[in-house]
Amino acid sequence: MSLPPLILRKNEDRRLRAGHLWVFSNEVDIARTPLKTFAPGDAVEIRSHNGRFIGSGYVNPNSLISARILSRDPERPPDRALLVHRLDIALSLRKRLYDKPFYRLVFGEADGLPGLVVDRYAGVLVVQITTAGMERMKADIVTALAGVIKPVGIFFRNDVAIRELEGLPLYTETAHGTVPDTVMIEEHGCRFEVPLSGGQKTGWFFDQHDNRGRMLRYISGKRVLDVFSYAGAWGIEALAHGAREALCVDSSAAALTHAMHNAGLNHVTVAAREADAFDALRELRESGEKFDVVILDPPAFVKRKKDLAAGRNAYQRLNQSALQLLERDGLLISCSCSHHLPAADLLQVIQAGARHLEREAQLLETGGQAADHPVHPAIAETAYLKAFYLRAVAL
């Protein structure tokens, strides 16, 4: 049974044939295949203006991204068998990367599953669906995950605002087995209890795995400030690897409660300050505090392109304040998870901040998202995380 076609305008198949997976609304030949005849999430065959098969996927007439490709093989429609196949390929990468089952198992487009994210906490899977097409496939997703991973529980964390763009409701749900409130994970020799239903995003920021590891060689005997700490990952790992002291700052009391608890699990003690990060940095400076290492891991300040100027300004103020708290030979670890903020812009605001303090910045290392968040080279949006490790010295 063939799927209904979605026909593209002339030449609009080129970008897709070069690897991109998204069809924008202005690329559709709406005279021949009016978008409004489709319901959100309908499966379609995407064809060039002269009828050539480009791929099959799903459509959403209400979204700027009108369709996303799931398969480029006419013999393989988007169904449960395709999901199983893609999950097997995704799993084989993660098994090669990590010897423990704590990782992002599926990273959307980059794993050939647009609109689907799955994080794995050993036997518990936390799933996030962001498109109407994936929502339609939800039952198949659950069955496919259950077959490939054999989890004890599957939890849908479908309460992200981005779903509203696709006309989807916000909810959380246990869709398979039983899901505990918290799960244990290990990272860089530390143990963490991760909140699932009550946590942020899908519970743990696996994308920072390598960047936290990259910090460890710098922290022996040091005083560390972990800003936007969430459950304390950076600060606690620093302490467990020999830092002298760590202060976690977060505006969420719940996050800091988890951080204190996680510190105890690792037999270290963190200090915690519940505050807006911008205020906390200013107050620390006013009281003359200094740190050897300052980590900035803020939420995305540039969620949409039009927020770039305001967002860049926020990164500038934040990095400037952090630099002011550094000891003379201190290290700034400055991250941004805003895809729309170019890496060069982040580096530039740090450089400007250093010059403002009459310091010279030295970029020591650069990190990105961990390899369980692969980048799709044709889809720029899949590359988002940047981490810079800098000294700001008085030369």
Q: Which residues bind ligand SAH (CB under 6 A)?
A: 200, 205, 208, 228-231, 233-234, 250-252, 255, 276-277, 297, 299
Catalytic residue among 190, 248, 335, 337: 337
Closest distance to ligand SAH from the beta carbon of 204 (Å): 7
- Nearer Cβ to ligand SAH, position 336 or 382? 336
Contact 384, 339 (CB under 8 A): yes
Closest distance to ligand SAH from the beta carbon of 77 (Å): 38
Residue recorded with tokens 């599926």 = 106
What's the token pair of residue 363?
Answer: 């970029």
Closest distance to ligand SAH from the beta carbon of 152 (Å): 24
- Nearer Cβ to ligand SAH, position 8 or 255? 255
Q: Where are the alpha helices (DSSP H) in the chain?
A: 14-17, 80-97, 132-136, 138-149, 209-215, 233-240, 253-265, 277-286, 308-324, 343-356
Instruction: Answer yes or no: 337 catalytic.
Output: yes
Is the four-CA dihedral 372, 257, 280, 202 of positive or negative sign? positive
What's the token pair of residue 86?
Answer: 């893609």
- Nearer Cβ to ligand SAH, position 205 or 384? 205
Query: Which residues, 6+ apart, have CB-to-CB distance to 22 below 8 Å?
Result: 65, 67, 68, 69, 114, 379
Residue recorded with tokens 């927020």 = 307
- Nearer Cβ to ligand SAH, position 71 or 262? 262
- Nearer Cβ to ligand SAH, position 234 or 315? 234
Contact 43, 3 (CB under 8 A): yes
Closest distance to ligand SAH from the beta carbon of 364 (Å): 20
Query: Which residues, 6+ apart, have CB-to-CB distance to 286 below 8 Å?
Result: none
Closest distance to ligand SAH from the beta carbon of 124 (Å): 18
Point out the residues that are catalytic: 337
